[in-house]
Chain A
């Protein structure tokens, strides 16, 4: 590290890098700062600088029944999507790791495709399926959409966990007379605990914020992002900033929680790397 900052040229290079980093962070955080600031702005979302700092928008928010209904819908959708994604994503990771079957390469590509495919294509293709089968659009169709798209996240996370797993443990369990079911629950699953919790948290958050797939599969009941979308089109009040600020704070708590869990488990690998490696075909 030091060897790269030796000499005056290198020092100016590293100063340049530092300035660049500060600028990028400013660019990334500017909208978030604006978002939080305007949640306290009495005058609405336009105008600068903000006038009449107030907590009124938070008060309005707590009395806004449609918003809370949509939050409740989103929580239900996220939980159900998490269950679907894990139910099929964990076995899919085991299959990619341990089984050989015809069409495995296609299967891998299909499972992982929604990670990078623009949501509009996943959403529309499912819309056509539901249309042809005469399925009525509702929260259930959104759950199916999110669950299916997010299997990719569960699979990549768990697959990465399996790569680090010592297979001798499972072998020992089987040799000592445990059946596959017992071995899975007593040996494999506990070893994958961190990957599974990480995947669950990620799936939950992604589902809570998902809009492109939901956009096409929505029935009568709105999820939170769609409720926000509906209001954005009509011109919004800082109430939306207030609800986003609250969600942001909750997300920060979740990140800190996940981070500490990871530190305790001594690095369960990082999500970014694993997803990238999966998409780029290093899995399998």
Chain B
């Protein structure tokens, strides 16, 4: 029903824009990753794989990447542990308050990311809310130092920030779950626990996969929370990239790390799509 001219008119402008401002920059990043920096701090446009070799050879790079993945894995786990039961509660037990509670999960996303991260600093600091309360309750004599400037602080803050992202897709799948299946399971004599584990949970797996992907990928690439709250032991891979593009001035090596992250993200997306298709109901 739509003419060729119509299709061209809606396709061409976004296609060109995306090619210029998304595809070209990614390709450029790929090119940069094969270049190097001379002693006089200029980019040398000679092609070799030294940067990738360095990533494998120098332990600080792959160790930081592994540590970032470990932090992201913990954030993902905690976000799911917090988000899933909440989504289940809203979808099955909240009754008329459902919409209001749903909005209440979204609202924290409207508060500046930076400021929420900073608020955790006020809470976790040595004269902060947490330490004062603990000392007041005589649970500790001296302020607990590990609360701030540690991987713990980074995991806690990122969990706070990405829990709503894990919650959203889980809630969406639970809401789309046909209620007559739940009723049928009950009518056929299953206990609530059996209904949950045999009917509801398997059908909600696509949402869990989507939520986990969001939480993992977004926390993996984070560099602001580690800078604010991480201290030296909480440094993540993106912090190394930031310093390579800044003070350390080694764009090509930074580009190589970024390109590896890009590949990692895209393969995770493809993998989670596969998983979702496999488990999806219909």
A→B interface (CB under 8 Å) = 1, 3-7, 9-10, 13-14, 17-18, 20-21, 24-25, 27-32, 34-35, 38, 45-49, 87-89, 91-92, 94-95, 98-99, 101, 107, 110-111, 113-114, 116-122, 124-129, 132, 144, 148, 151, 167, 170-171, 174, 180, 205, 209, 211-212, 215-216, 225, 228-229, 232, 236, 240-241, 244, 247-248, 251-252, 254-255, 259, 270, 272-273, 275-277, 279-281
Contact = CB atoms under 8 A, between A and B. Distances in A.
Interface in B5-47: 5-7, 9-11, 13-15, 17-18, 21-26, 28-29, 32
21 contacts: A9-B191, A10-B192, A18-B89, A21-B86, A21-B90, A27-B82, A35-B116, A91-B11, A98-B6, A99-B11, A118-B221, A118-B222, A120-B242, A124-B255, A126-B25, A129-B25, A151-B14, A174-B1, A212-B224, A225-B114, A232-B114
Contacts of A34: 119, 122-123, 129
A124 B245 contact: yes
B89 A21 contact: yes
B77 interface: no
Contacts of B164: 28
A247 B125 contact: no
A46 B127 contact: yes
Contact of A88 (B3, B7, B17): B17
Contacts of B171: 272
Contact of B14 (A49, A95, A281): A95
B24 A129 contact: yes
B93 A113 contact: no
B222 to A, nearest CB: 7
Contacts of A244: 111-112, 115
Contacts of B108: 28-29, 32
A99 B7 contact: yes
Contacts of B160: 27-28, 31
Interface range for B: 35 or more
A151 B267 CA distance: 22
Given A3-B183, A244-B112, A32 B28 contact: no
Interface of B: 1-3, 5-7, 9-11, 13-15, 17-18, 21-26, 28-29, 32, 82-83, 85-86, 88-90, 92-93, 95, 101-108, 110-116, 118-123, 125, 127-129, 132-133, 160, 163-164, 168-169, 171-172, 175, 182-183, 186, 191-193, 195, 206-207, 210, 213-214, 217-218, 220-224, 228, 238, 241-242, 245, 251, 254-255, 258, 261-262, 265-266, 269, 272-273, 276
Contacts of B13: 87-88, 91
A44 to B, nearest CB: 10
Contacts, number: 279
A236 B118 contact: yes
Tell which of B2, B25, B88, B116 has the most Cβ of chain A within 10 Å. Answer: B25
Instruction: Say what secondary structure dominates the interface of chain B.
Output: helix
Contact of A148 (B22, B32, B92, B105): B22
A91 to B, nearest CB: 4
Nearest to B3: A180
Contacts of A174: 1
A133 to B, nearest CB: 10
A272 B168 contact: yes
Nearest to B259: A121
Contacts of A6: 192
B198 to A, nearest CB: 14
Nearest first, the 3 A-B pairs at minimum CB distance are A118-B221, A125-B25, A31-B119
Contacts of A148: 17-18, 21-22
Contact of B89 (A20, A35, A113): A20
Nearest to B241: A120
Given A4-B195, A31-B119, A113-B22, A18 B265 contact: no
